A and B are shown apart, each in its own frame.
Chain A
Amino acid sequence: MKRRDLFALLPLPALAQSDEALQRFSGGRPLREGRVQLEVAPLVENGNAVPVTLRCEGAVRLALVAPQNPVVELASFRIGPFARPEVSTRIRMATSQTLVTLAETVDGQCWQQPVRVLVTLAACIEGESP
């Protein structure tokens, strides 16, 4: 599936931001689908702290993009010679969306993997301030 097809259904601003983010990561090189993995629950009950794990054999860089978030670039990681290409963290998801994991492998190739995540919303909205 081409990158264009992937984002065909998104509203324009999200499309533009994500596209830029992907371009920035790859520096204009082709972004092939595959190799990089994202471990994340397919359904999360709260978008405030979603555990994720990024993994890609041979990666020197890893990144995660959330096209529907106000700021789409969530994080990027540099894997140095003493490190292994696996990272876990917790992200914020503004809404259900297709996250895009990115990787650059040691041979200079760039990879992407889309993963759809559904975010449910709590029904009891408290509206309290901290």
Chain B
Amino acid sequence: MTAWLLMLALAAPLRSGLEDMSPALQALQRDDSQNPGMLWVRQGEHLFGAQCQRCHAQPPSAKRFPALSEGKLMNLGQRINACRAPAPAWGSEAPELLALTAFLGHRERGQLVEAPKDAALQADLREGERLFRQPMGQLGLSCAQCHDGQAGRRLGGSVILQGHANGYPVYRLAWQDMGSLQRRLRGCMTGVRAEPFAADDPAWTLLELYLKQRGAGLPIEVPAVRP
């Protein structure tokens, strides 16, 4: 309840993708015995116990990411990979990484997304915003044009969402699978006929940082379900 009141106080027009889903899909997300994402949360719990607990007595916070670590901007997945080095890094869609990020994110479900306040992050934040506003692809569309400018209106049969990242990793019905924010953004870029950034391009994390500020005040919904 407090989460919703705070959200209203901070930014009245903020709207999670959850609110634009049908009642049936909302119920699916809210019911842990039906939410397919919980399968990954459970797996993550097992993996954490088996591989991480020897160093991390308590599971660390997911919501503070993206953050500066070892002098670099990292999201949670990149931080996990850095922890595991020299073991080969998991790709963003590796089942193990989706499971761990789902488990960690889920622990803070219901808490609010916090705007990145660290002074050292402000330059990266501006770069993330620049990427968000940059026209791209054959259609010359920027993220902002649809998700700021046209949010709430319709494209074909669907409502254009504000495009927040408060539920990742998400179980997306279109994928019939769990996926990361990068996977979703990659799909968006392909959708506007733009060449997606390379997998290890810092652009993904910069965008993730900006999206975090943009969605500050929304409740964390990991694991979210989306069409």
Q: How far is the CA of A122 from the CA of B174 in the complex (A)?
A: 9
Q: In chain B, what residue has the closest Cβ to A121? A: B157
Q: Which residues of chain B have a CB within 8 Å of any CB of chain A?
A: 21-25, 27-28, 34, 36, 93, 154-158, 173-177, 183, 186-188, 190-191, 227
Least Cβ distance of A60 to chain B in Å? 26
Interface of B is mostly: mixed
The stretch of A30-38, A41-49, A74-82, A99-107 in contact with B is A41-49
Selected from A45, A51, A128, the residue in CB contact (under 8 A) with B186 is A128
Beyond A51-B34, A122-B157, A124-B191, 20 additional contacts (C-beta under 8 Å) are: A41-B22, A41-B24, A45-B157, A45-B227, A46-B25, A46-B174, A46-B227, A48-B174, A48-B176, A50-B24, A120-B158, A121-B156, A122-B174, A122-B227, A123-B156, A123-B158, A126-B187, A126-B190, A127-B190, A130-B175
> Is B176 within 8 A of A45, CB to CB?
no
Least Cβ distance of A2 to chain B in Å? 31
Task: Pick from B27, B36, B157 the residue with the most CB of A within 10 Å.
Answer: B157
Q: Does A125 contact B (CB under 8 A)?
A: yes
Q: What 10 pairs across the A-B complex have the smallest Cβ distances?
A: A123-B156, A126-B187, A46-B227, A48-B173, A120-B157, A46-B173, A123-B155, A41-B24, A128-B187, A124-B191
Q: How far is the CA of A110 from the CA of B130 in the complex (A)?
A: 64
Q: In chain B, what residue has the closest Cβ to A47? A: B173
Given contacts A49-B173, A51-B28, A130-B175, contact A44 B158 (CB under 8 A): no
Contacts of B173 in A (CB 8 A): 46, 48-49
Q: In chain B, what residue has the closest Cβ to A49? A: B173
Least Cβ distance of A95 to chain B in Å? 13
Q: How far is the CA of A46 from the CA of B172 in the complex (A)?
A: 10
Sample (23) of A-B pairs whose CB atoms are under 8 Å apart:
A41-B23, A44-B22, A45-B157, A45-B158, A46-B25, A46-B173, A46-B227, A48-B176, A49-B36, A51-B27, A51-B34, A120-B157, A121-B156, A122-B156, A122-B157, A122-B174, A123-B158, A124-B155, A124-B158, A126-B187, A126-B190, A127-B190, A128-B186
